Chain A
Amino acid sequence: MKIIVAVKRVIDYNVQVRVKADGTGVETENVKMSMNPPDENAVEEALRIKESNKANEVIVLSIGDEKCQETIRTALAMGADRGIHIKVDKAIEPLGVAKIIKKIAEKESPELILMGKQAIDDDCNQTGQMLSALLGWSQGAFVSKIEFVDQSINVTREVDEGLETLNLKLPSVVTCDLRLNEPRYASLPNIMKAKKKQIDQINLEELNLDINPRIEQINVSEPPKRKKGIIVADVAELVQKLKNEAKVI
């Protein structure tokens, strides 16, 4: 069985993002970038599945400019077997991303496609679900546990009321929650080995897809700032303020 893991290069989760003064977006120049956090869980899960002999190949795929190769290398250093980089120099919406991955999936025929449940930049939470629909496959979204049962998988999903378990026919698209596992760190020897692993680069044009944006970003602005608060001396003052000033208790 083959697994494809889709990973996205995003502004590192520890970076305080800044809105550009001209309102066209957020600053990305000289900002630390890294793999979207739940995508790391997706890579880790694929590796664990392979290590338990239920898969024989883990392919990591990323879409974006040349620097995406760094993100793919990170996954290769964790243990993925090979990479596919679809080179695109402009921003693509989740629908476009799903169409691209579908094209690759048709060529590679994986039985499982994993990715993070949400990218922490656009916060769309769409790509996995769209991909699953376009492929006509089963879907496990926001998954915190995957178990193999004969020719299918049981996934536990994080839903608003608690946990839900579904049985999914393979092939399937599963989007990963941060609780799925604890991603490993790449060891130095594995980082060295990863440099020799193969990354196939594909130009978007070769795929012949309509991925033109459907949504125009009119502007990006700072969120409204909260009024500066105060520091209270003790619990008694806190309760007094909440009762008499804020009037919330």
Chain B
Amino acid sequence: MILVIAEHNNEKLKSFTLNTVEAASKINEEIHILIAGNNSENVCNEASSIKKVKKVLHAKSSIYENHLCENLTPLIVNLAKNYSHIISPATAFGKNLMPRVAALLDVSQISDIIEVESEDTFIRPIYAGNAIAKVKSNDIKKVITIRPTSFEPTSSSGGSAIIEDIGETEDLKLSNFVSKEESKSERPELGTARIVVSGGRGLQSSENFKLITDLADKLNAAVGASRAAVDAGYVGNDFQVGQTGKVVVPELYIAIGISGAIQHLAGMKESKVIVAINKDDEAPIFNVADYGLKADLFEAIPALKEELAKLNIIKK
């Protein structure tokens, strides 16, 4: 049996939970899902309607409201005895929590898998995706994080799993939630957008970065950035695409003023179609681009907007 640790905000399931259930179903059909939260009944109902979920475990307590990993860990460790695999998405949530669970179960975690070979053998990228490792876990229990963009989201409807309330664990009082600053945006989410428009150091300033956001809005696209652009302060870190940022696999990725450092390529080179616009002929981004345009971005972006306006139909 598999236990999927759901990511949610107490109101809604985070969409990558669906990808996680799909990945789990490639190992075993007997899938239970844990919702640990506060006032999270809606999330349980949502999880219960996922076709591939057999049972929803609901741990409700104010101590789980902000997903503090110190308090979530003993809850999951207590449940672990019933399960062969414990799986979560390799998002900030899963990366923060799952190694704690693995350590207390005395097992090695298998991080960020992109493929399931069998119940104990998995494929995962290493060295920023420049090498692909096939690994076999010899631990009795497998603690796994999955790369959500490497698995399809499972169907969110058609199921009616039972919801079972489970007891809470004690508050360890090691950490307290202080605040959260969420970047609000009307745009599609970077992790799941069909089109991503990313800008790099070539933009030269945060004012100029608006060229990228304007273009993204024209295309109903999410906005991304290279680490160089983030470090230079043009945009926040939650826009970062790359080895230490987000991994995106959109249908169309447009990299503008991005040279294509190894760390950046790690986050986008699985995109279906890649466009690179850069004035440097030698920029490594051209090596992964399906369509390269060697041009000054300050001329190319306005021209691109104009051409797109002529099409006037943008697929949603």
Q: Which A residues contact B (CB, under 8 angstroms)?
A: 11, 13-14, 16-17, 19, 26, 38, 93-95, 98, 117-118, 120-134, 136-142, 144, 154, 157-169, 177-179, 213-223, 226-227, 229-232, 234-236, 238-239, 241-243, 246, 248-249
Contact = CB atoms under 8 A, between A and B. Distances in A.
Greatest chain A CB density within 10 A among B132, B227, B294, B314 is at B132
B303 interface: yes
Contacts of B178: 154, 165-167
Contacts of A118: 243-244
Given A123-B111, A232-B291, A130 B99 contact: yes
A26 B102 CA distance: 27
The secondary-structure label for the interface of chain B is mixed
A120 to B, nearest CB: 7
B79 interface: no
B100 interface: yes
Interface string B168-210: 0000011111111111000000010001000000000000000
Given A126-B109, A218-B135, A235 B263 contact: no
Interface in B201-228: 219, 227
B132 A221 contact: yes
Nearest to B300: A235
A142 B176 CA distance: 16
B243 A226 contact: no
A235 B70 contact: no
B166 interface: no
B99 A133 contact: yes
A86 to B, nearest CB: 18
7 interchain residue pairs of minimum CB distance: A129-B99, A130-B103, A133-B100, A126-B99, A138-B174, A214-B108, A165-B178
A13 B92 CA distance: 22
Contact of A139 (B91, B132, B175): B175
A133 B103 contact: yes
B273 A248 contact: yes
8 contacts: A19-B130, A126-B109, A139-B100, A165-B179, A216-B135, A218-B133, A234-B295, A246-B252
A125 B99 contact: yes
Given A222-B131, A242-B273, A214 B125 contact: no
Nearest to A14: B262
B292 A232 contact: yes
B69 A215 contact: no
Given A158-B92, A167-B176, A123 B292 contact: no
Interface string B117-150: 0000100011111111111111100000000000
A133 B73 contact: yes
Given A93-B108, A236-B307, A223 B132 contact: yes
A165 to B, nearest CB: 4
Contacts of B289: 229
Given A130-B99, A163-B180, 18 more contacts: A13-B262, A14-B262, A123-B112, A129-B96, A132-B100, A139-B100, A160-B191, A160-B238, A163-B238, A169-B174, A214-B108, A221-B131, A223-B131, A229-B288, A236-B303, A239-B308, A241-B291, A249-B252
Greatest chain A CB density within 10 A among B177, B263, B307 is at B307
B297 to A, nearest CB: 11
A35 to B, nearest CB: 15
